Amino acid sequence: MLRDQFPGLNNQVHGKPLVYLDNAATAQRPLAVLDAVNGYYLHHNANIHRGVHAMSESATELYEQARGSLARLINAPSPKDLIFVRGCTEGVNLVAQTFVRSRLKAGDEILISHLEHHSNIVPWQILCEQTGAVLKVIPMNEQGELVLDDLDRLLNARTKFMSVVHISNSLGTINPVKKLIKAAHDQGVPILVDGAQAAPHIKVDVQDLDCDFYTVSGHKMYGPTGSGVLYGKAEHLNAMPPYQGGGEMISKVTFESTVYNAVPAKFEAGTPNIAGGIGLGAAAEFMLSVGLERIEQRDHELRIYTEQALQQVDGLRIIGTAAQKSPVFSFVIDGVHAHDIGTIIDHYGVAVRTGHHCTMPIFQFFGLAGSCRASLAFYNTEQEVDVLVESLLKAKAMFA
């Protein structure tokens, strides 16, 4: 069974089998990823790109093979179009400070959506403070779907950049990003898509989407923490200045001037997270071997089952009921604080997230301080959903 490939799922919590439903925060890792990281440190532990000795060359080969695996996963035109980053947060900040900042003047606008994670809000607020630009927001409705009626008004001559999430980490909403990308391009506006939650759940094809930038976080898609990639169209990456200065991103340095290296090295200053990159490549290969369509189908089955199962809990309300969504369920229960729920069901082995999930504007819209969030991955089971429901019923009974 595929589930057997994830040893972390075999843990016990408070003497109960672990029911891990916090995948939107971070996923468990398959043996293929653990073996790849361990294998690097055991057999290839050397710095990359600079050495002529065998260990360095083998480490470099593994690292660049990983870049190729990730390019295949998201169908990038070339592995050279992928920059290794620490995750989506660094990917967004890199684009903000190197591609967007030089394009802005006071009064220009950046367009995001109400469904964004803080990591796709705060970098743009910082940029607006630095340049005098204005942040605009696509609204959402009570179902947690974007309201696009006024998109033509929001995308105008003042709009210089757009950045939107592919799948909401709090509500599971799958945004119509292809439609948004076309609308942006029709106005000559480049666009970044935050794919942190999309990459683990659906097939991503950056060429079909035609996005200018797309970023993913490794630890959401079964890879190591502190790893990720930023895809960018080649013409953008070649024109952008470097994000950081240091070793590897240069081809010549004198005290008078520096000549920068070619992409992708231009954006990868210093010794990178080599083991993390290799592990992330292994995660991409693992997902490809499982089959992205198979993962999508399993996600759909779990979503339907969980939606129906949660209806057994009186007073439970799911926040966000979009027609198109992944198996992510933020919910509240009448009369019970979210943190109390999370603490109680933890004693039954159930791991969920509580709070605002780094999306405070979403919960301000719903008039809530936060919620419980159960987020499923393809390795979860219907039996685990049943345990979740049973534990919620027991938690609710305690406060009856």
Which CATH code, of 1.10.3470.10, 2.102.10.10, 3.40.640.10, 3.40.50.450, is assigned to 32-289? 3.40.640.10
- All structural domains of the chain with their residue ranges: 32-289, 292-398
Which residues are paired to 146 by β-bridges? 140
Q: Using one digit for the tens of pLDDT, what is the confidence trace for 142-185?
A: 999 999 999 999 999 999 999 999 999 999 999 999 999 999 99
User: Is the previous residue joined to 361 through a cis bond, with omega within 30 degrees of 0?
Assistant: no
Q: Give the whole-angstrom CA distance, residue 98 versus residue 80.
A: 18
Q: What is the pLDDT of residue 170?
A: 98
User: Which residues are known to be catalytic?
Assistant: 358
pTM (2 d.p.)? 0.97
- Three-point CA angle 314, 315, 320, nearest 5°: 115
Share of the chain above pLDDT 90, in %: 96
Alpha-helix residue ranges (DSSP H) falling in the chain:
31-43, 54-74, 88-95, 122-131, 151-154, 177-186, 206-209, 234-239, 274-290, 292-310, 338-346, 360-365, 382-398
Residue 247 parent element (H or E):
none
User: Quick one: three-class SS letters along 322-370?
Assistant: CCCECCEEEEEECCECHHHHHHHHHCCCEECEEECCCCHHHHHHCCCCC
pLDDT tens digit sequence for 9-51: 999 999 999 999 999 999 999 999 999 999 999 999 999 998 8
Amino acid at residue number 351: A
Which tens digit of pLDDT belongs to each residue from 214-225?
Answer: 999 999 999 999
Does 292-398 match 32-289 at the fold level?
Answer: no
Give residue 64's pLDDT band: very low, low, confident or very high (50, 70, 90): very high
> Residue 400 has what pLDDT?
72
User: 344: which 2 tokens?
Assistant: 């109680």
382 pLDDT above the threshold of 90: yes
Write down the pLDDT at residue 108.
98
Cβ–Cβ under 8 Å, residues 282 and 33: yes
| Separation CA 390–CA 87 (nearest Å) | 35
The predicted pLDDT at position 373 comes to 98
Strand 228-232 relative to strand 250-253, pairing: unpaired
HSE-up of 116 (CA within 13 Å, CB side)? Answer: 26
pLDDT, residue 187, reads 97
Given the candidates 3.40.1160.10, 3.90.1150.10, 3.40.50.620, 3.40.50.1820, the CATH classification of the domain at 292-398 is 3.90.1150.10
The pair of structure tokens assigned to 272 is 């990178």
